[in-house]
Each structure stands twice: as structure tokens, then as C-alpha cells.
Structure 1
């Protein structure tokens, strides 16, 4: 449990730093109505999602052929660059995780982790809103969501 709290604290700190640091990242495509499958790739099916108000939705997808999960934060309406993030990790395997933080016009991600038969923690953010989901997609474990507005 100690790692989960420290990992979530690190993610929150990273999200805050994105809002105050100029990041020179290549902008994501500004295509309207981008889907999680367009971001994550062929074979990924949406298994969970978390809306961030009217700004965006964070999607968790899974590809059963390769055992990988993917997370993407997709804006409802593309526009000017804003701070966005997407992240995922496997709490049972401390070093397995991926994250993407930057200034984007349409989406953040994709972020991938191999998680066949594992629980995942995932989330993302846009502007001053973020969501953290733990205990996700686990048999017999209740999911826990925290939505933050700064």
C-alpha cells in the first residue's frame, strides 16, 4: 500500500509540474472525434473510462492478443494546446508503468503496460482536472476513483 500512495503522489506532483513548466512536446493530431482505438492501436478494446467533466475522457483499453493495457486521455473538442496527461502502472510489479505528460491539442498518450491477469492503476488529466483509478479491472477488488480539480 505504501507504494500506491507514493506513486499516486508522484503522479499528482508530475501533473502539477506540467501545469507550470513549459514542455516542448510535439502536438497530438487535432482530429475531431478521436477514438481510443485510433490512439492505442488495432486490437485494443475499451474496458473502462473516466470522464473529466465536459473537457475530456480518460480511456483504459486492453488487447487480449498481446496482454497489454493502454491509456489515453482524449479531449471532447480539440483546440489550443493545454496541459494533458495519461498514465498506467501495475501495482504488483513496481517497475512496470508508462506515462505521458505534455501540452497537446487533442489527446495524451498512448501509454502501455503488460498486465495480463493483473490489476492496474491508471488515470489522466487535462488543465486543472485529473482522475486516478486504483484496483481497476480486478476480479473481486473494488475499484477506487479520485477526481481532483485544482
Structure 2
């Protein structure tokens, strides 16, 4: 057997072994904390029934907020989904949006002692969009 065939076969076996050891998490396993990362805790949520839920998280260690939009209806199918966050006093609106199967985000911003406006949009397979946006809140 040539060195190329041995190398190619080893690469395939290694790739298959990696897939068996570390399978991708299903969409239903996505949690707001898992998406935002270590140190973030859910401080609020808004449901856009029946499409999904927006979560606002805060990390007291670094003063950052994080927003994720997790789909309920249509999960597993790519439809437009958006997570949105704006810090009061800033004209910048942070967004993660696109055709996603299970969630949009994380969207993070430093907001210690500042109000935030958060939410996003979910769309169904026909393109109809459902938007939810909070007022200025969580100011501490």
C-alpha cells in the first residue's frame, strides 16, 4: 500500500472516530447559557408564541449582556431568525440574523449600569416575520 493510501485511510478513520466521540448537539440541546458562554445567567425572557423565545443574559464578572433567540416552531428548518441588542446611549444596534435552524446569537455588549433594549425577529417558512422588542430596561 502506498504512503498516500495509508495517509488518506488514516484521515478517514480519524474523522469518523472524531464524529463518534464528539457528535453535534441537537437543536433541542441549545440553552441560552450554553450559547452565550461561561459566566452568563438568564435575567429575563420574552416569548414570541408560538415561534420561539428571546433570552437576555448578564455576566456580572465582565458587565456584558447577551441576547439569544431560540426557535420553537420550525426548529430544524432554516428560517430567518434574529437576536438584537442595543445599549442606551449608543446608536449601534447589534444583531445576529440569518437563515438559522435553531437559534440566533449570541449578541453581546458591555452594559454595566446602562439600560438595554433587546429582542429580535422570527420568520416562518412563508416569510411572515414576527418581531418582539423590549423597552429600555435592566438598567443596573
Deviations 1:79-130 (A, max 9, x none): 21000001101122334x4211100000001101100000001111110211
SS state of the match for residue 32, structure 1? helix
From 81, 95, 109, the counterpart of 2:78: 81
Matches within 5 A, 1:82-101: 82-95=79-92, 97-101=93-97
Q: CA deviation at 1:30?
A: 4.7
Within 2, Cα distance between the matches of 1:34 and 1:75? 10
- Give the equivalent residue in structure 2 for 1:122: 118
From 29, 34, 42, the counterpart of 2:30: 34
Q: How many residues align?
A: 110
- Structure 1, unaligned stretches of length 5 or more? 1-28, 140-150
Give yes or no for the alignment of 1:72 onto 2:68: yes
* Higher gyration radius (CA): 2
- Give the equivalent residue in structure 2 for 1:47: 43
Q: TM-score, normalised by structure 1?
A: 0.68
Does the 8 A contact of 1:30 with 1:105 survive in 2? no
Does the 8 A contact of 2:69 with 2:82 survive in 1? yes
Within 1, Cα distance between the matches of 2:66 and 2:119? 11
Give yes or no for the alignment of 1:57 onto 2:58: no
Show structure 1 runs of 4+ deviating over 4 A: none
Q: CA deviation at 1:34?
A: 1.4
- Structure 2, unaligned stretches of length 5 or more? 1-24, 124-128
Q: CA deviation at 1:31?
A: 2.1
